[in-house]
Amino acid sequence: MLKERKLGKSGISVYPIGIGLWAIGGKTWGPTSDRESLDTISRALDLGVTFFDTADIYGDGHSEELLGRAMQGRRDKFIVGTKIGWIGFDGEENASAYTSPEKIIVGVEDNLKRLHTDYIDILQWHVNFQDPTTENFIIGCERLKKQGKIRGYGVSTSDIDYLRSFVSTGGPDTLQIDYSILNRTAEKEIFPFCRDENLGVIVRGGLAMGILTGKFNPETTFPEGDFRRSWIENPDQKEQFLEDLRVVDKLKDAFPSQNLAELAIRFIISNPAVSVIIPGAKRVSQLESNFHAGDAGLLTDQEMDAINHIVAPGKGRKIWPA
Ligand SMILES: NC(=O)c1ccc[n+]([C@@H]2O[C@H](COP(=O)([O-])OP(=O)(O)OC[C@H]3O[C@@H](n4cnc5c(N)ncnc54)[C@H](OP(=O)(O)O)[C@@H]3O)[C@@H](O)[C@H]2O)c1
C-alpha cells in the first residue's frame, strides 16, 4: 500500500489513488448501470480508496445521489470532494448563477441533500476562469466552514493567473487539474506554485479519458451518448486523437511488458506535487486495475527517463481547454 498524502493545509489526508465519479452519472460517457456503479464504489472502499470525486452537474445530480446511497451507514469512511458552479451558468454574461454568497450556501444545501450527508470534505469551484461570481464562492465557503458543512475548499482550473487570484485570500486548500503523460504542462508553473502555497493537488485526466490505457486505435468507435464520439466525428479532434495514439504507440514500444493504464497512474503518483489521482471508473474491473497500479510503487529513474524521451517534462498538450 502507498502512504496517505495531505490535501494541502485542510488537515485531511487521502490514499493517493482515488476515484472519479463523473461517468457513473450516466449521461456523458456512454451506458452505465447503477448496480455496477454502486458495486464499484463499495469495492473502492474495501480496497482502501478514501477520496471520491463528484459534482452537482454529473448526470444532473445522479452521480452525487449514487455516492450518497453508497455512503449510508458508513459516511466516516469516505472523503468526499464535490463541486458546484456550472448549473445555471449564463454563457452570454459568462457568469455563474451564484450571484451572492447566500446562493452558494443554498446550492451547497442541495449538494448535501443529494449526497445524504451533513458535511462535504472538499467543496470545489467548478468554474475554471475568473467570473463575476468567484468571490461569492470564497465568502460562501468561509461561512460554510464555520457552520461545519464543509471541511475545506478549492478550485478546478489550469489557468495560473486565475489560480493565483483565487488563492490570494489564503483560504483555499486544493487545486483540481488535468495532468497526465500526454499533458505535463502543470509541471512548469502550477505545481511549483501549489507547493509554495501548500495546495493539495487532485489530478484528473490521468488516463486521458481512456487514451492512455492503450485500448483505443484509429478504428475505435464510441457509443451513442458518449462525448468521445466527437474525437471521431470532428475532423480537427480526429487529427488530435490520432496524434495522441501515436504517442501511445511510442509508450507501448518503450514499455512492451507493462500495462499502460498502470504506467500512466504510476507516472502521476510519482510526482511529489500530487496528493491524489481520481481515475474515472465505471466498472469494478477498471477500479481494481487502477487501484492496483499502486502495488508496483513509484516509477524507477529508468522508467521516468523513458517517458521523458517521449513527452519531455513540462510539455504535451492541454487536453481540456481549461
Ligand atoms: N473538474 C473538472 O472539470 C473535471 C473534468 C473532467 C473530469 N473530472 C473528474 O475526473 C474524473 C476522471 O475523469 P477523466 O476525464 O480524468 O477521465 P480519465 O480518468 O482520464 O478516464 C476515465 C475513463 O477511462 C476509462 N477507464 C478508466 N479506467 C480504465 C481502465 N483501467 N482500463 C480501461 N479503461 C479505463 C473509462 O471509460 P470507458 O470504459 O468508457 O472507456 C473511464 O470513464 C471524473 O470522473 C471527474 O470526477 C473533473
pLDDT digits (tens, 9 = 90+) for 25-74: 987 888 899 999 999 999 999 999 999 999 999 999 999 999 999 999 99
User: Closest residue (by CA) to atom 15 of ligand 1?
Assistant: 205
Which residues are annotated as catalytic? 58
* 280 C-beta closer than 6 A to ligand 1: yes
Domains of the chain, with CATH numbers?
5-310 (3.20.20.100)
pLDDT of 140 over the 60 cut: yes
Q: Are 36 and 285 in contact (CB under 8 A)?
A: no
Other C-beta atoms lying within 10 Å of the C-beta of residue 43: 18
Q: How crowded is residue 255: how many other Cβ atoms within 10 Å of its Cβ?
A: 17
Beta carbon of 210 within 6 Å of any ligand 1 atom: yes
225: pLDDT confidence band, cut at 50, 70 and 90? confident
pLDDT for position 125 = 98
Looking at the CA of residue 290, tell me the nearest atom of ligand 1. 31
Amino acid 321: pLDDT: 57
Q: Cα–Cα distance between 31 and 173 in angstroms, integer?
A: 34
Positive or negative torsion for Cα 312, 289, 23, 272: negative
- What is the rounded average pLDDT for all residues in the chain? 96
Q: How far is CA 207 from CA 203, 217, 267, 280, 281, in A?
A: 10, 15, 10, 8, 10
Q: What average pLDDT does range 201-228 have in this prediction?
A: 94
In this prediction, residue 320 carries a pLDDT of: 66
CA–CA distance, 308 with 225 (Å, rounded to integer):
36
Residue-wise pLDDT for 245-295, tens only, equals 999 999 999 999 999 999 999 999 999 999 999 999 999 999 999 999 999
**How far does residue 268's CA lie from ligand 1's centre (Å)?**
14
Query: Ligand 1 centroid vs 26 CA: distance in angstroms?
Result: 13
> Looking at residue 145, what is its pLDDT?
98
Q: Which residue's alpha carbon is at the smallest distance from atom 8 of ligand 1?
A: 204
Give the percent of the chain with pLDDT over 90. 94
226 CA distance to ligand 1 centroid (A)?
A: 12
Mean predicted confidence (pLDDT) in 149-167: 97
Residue whose Cα lies nearest atom 21 of ligand 1: it is: 209
> No. of H helices and E strands in the chain?
11, 10
Q: Bridge-partner residues for 316, per DSSP?
A: 183
Q: Of 256, 258, 263, which Cα lies nearest the Cα of 279? A: 263
Query: pLDDT for 285-316, tens place per residue?
Result: 999 999 999 999 999 999 999 999 999 999 99
Q: Is the CB of 183 under 6 A from ligand 1?
A: no
